Amino acid sequence: MVADTSRRTLQLLSLFAARRRWSLGELASRLDVSERTVRRDVETLRRLGYPVATVRGPAGGYQLGTGHPLPPLLFDDEQALAVAVALQTASTSVLGLGEDAARAADTLKQVVPPALRSTMEKLRLTTLRNYWEFPGPPIAPGALKAVGSAVRQQHVLVFDALRADGTRPDPRAADFAPPRRLEPHHLVVWAGRWYLVGYDLADDTWRVHRVDRLHVHTATGTRFAPREVPGGDVAHFVMTTHDRGDTVAAWECVGTARIKLPAETVARWAPGGSVVEHLDDHHSRLTIGAWSWAGVAGILATFDADLSELEPPELVDAGRRLAQRWRGVNDR
């Protein structure tokens, strides 16, 4: 009910933006609700501070107050960030919303205050289609806003790399590393995960980082000159980078195998939530999960390449059972 009311309120604002005066019947028809519901929604707008006046008489209805522009939409920073994220990722989760989401984003940017418009524009996203998508880990809005702002403003980013469980290594721990300085160039959404593509200033290397694995320090304000991503295609770069900080998703069955394919090839087609390791120029190791051992074996088979060093034994047994079934296909 609350969601329906909010949706109609936005529709009412859109109608008043297009034409200041409407009859009660027209509004009811456009919103596909009763006239009584329209009256309640108009009262909601008035409580929010929108100057909607009642026009009396046979041709009466409602009119946006003369001489009063539409007030800015009342979004705080977190709401503006949520709207920006939702609109920019809508086309990857709901079929056919790409154009509508883009138009909605442009419309909202025209009516929010300048400061919030800047917040909405801080995220420059690239969304990649992956047919193995599943929900990714949550990201703190503050971290996402900080990273998105650094990307948009072209400011050097300083961060600590977090462990897979989200904790920061103790300085005395073996996996401790000092803060990294990175030129952040792109935010990429792929397979339910957020990745940051940047140029590492410590070792002069392009890297891909999971945003949920970053503890971002205070903004540096240090600007950098844009560089071109290797190959000129950010999508290809992310999908062929095997070291993205990924960890295996939680599945009933998790197995690993050595594949006679280079890591960049396997990383391009591996399901989200898998881990690809570079072994040499012609071999890589894939760790992957599924709801059954047969499922793990089946996914490995899709690469159509020689496999070895399969673990655990349950995966080996599942592969043998599948092979026996396929051998018996022509005998039936």
212 Cβ partners below 8 Å, 6+ apart?
136, 137, 138, 139, 143, 162, 166, 193, 194
Query: Does residue 292 or residue 163 have the better pLDDT?
Result: 292
Per-residue confidence (pLDDT) for residue 186, from 0 to 100:
94
Burial classification of residue 34, based on how many CB atoms lie within 10 Å of its CB (0-12 exposed, 13-18 middle, 19 or more buried) = exposed
CATH code of 51's domain = 1.10.10.10
- Give the lowest-confidence range in 186-190, 245-249, 321-325: 245-249
Domain ends where: 64, 94, 110? 64
Q: Note whether 146 and 219 are same-domain residues.
A: yes
Q: Note whether 60 and 36 are same-domain residues.
A: yes
Question: Angle at the Cα of 201 (from 197 to 202), degrees rounded to 5?
Answer: 120
Q: How would residue 2 be classed by pLDDT, with cut points 50, 70 and 90?
A: very low
- For 84-112, the pLDDT digits (tens) are 777 766 655 555 666 777 777 777 777 66
Q: Is the pTM of this model over 0.85?
A: no
- Does 66 have pLDDT greater than 70? no
Per-residue confidence (pLDDT) for residue 227, from 0 to 100:
94
Identify the CA nearest to 81 among candidates 115, 129, 54, 37.
115
Average pLDDT of every residue of the chain? 82
Residues comprising the chain, all counted: 332
Domain residues for 220?
141-240
CATH code of 285's domain = 3.30.70.250
Does residue 69 sit within a domain?
no
Total count of domains within the chain: 4
Does residue 116 sit within a domain?
yes
Per-residue confidence (pLDDT) for residue 171, from 0 to 100:
81
Query: Does residue 272 or residue 186 have the better pLDDT?
Result: 186
**Contact between 121 and 82 (Cβ < 8 Å):** no
Q: Note whether 261 and 218 are same-domain residues.
A: no
- Does 56 have pLDDT greater than 50? yes
Does residue 129 sit within a domain?
no
Q: Which residues pair with 282 in a beta bridge?
A: none
For 160-183, b/e burial (b = at least 16 CB within 10 A) is bbbeeeeeeeeeeeeeeeeebbbb
CA distance 20 to 205: 56
- Does 192 have pLDDT greater than 90? no
Does residue 38 sit within a domain?
yes
- Give the lowest-confidence range in 59-63, 158-162, 204-208: 59-63
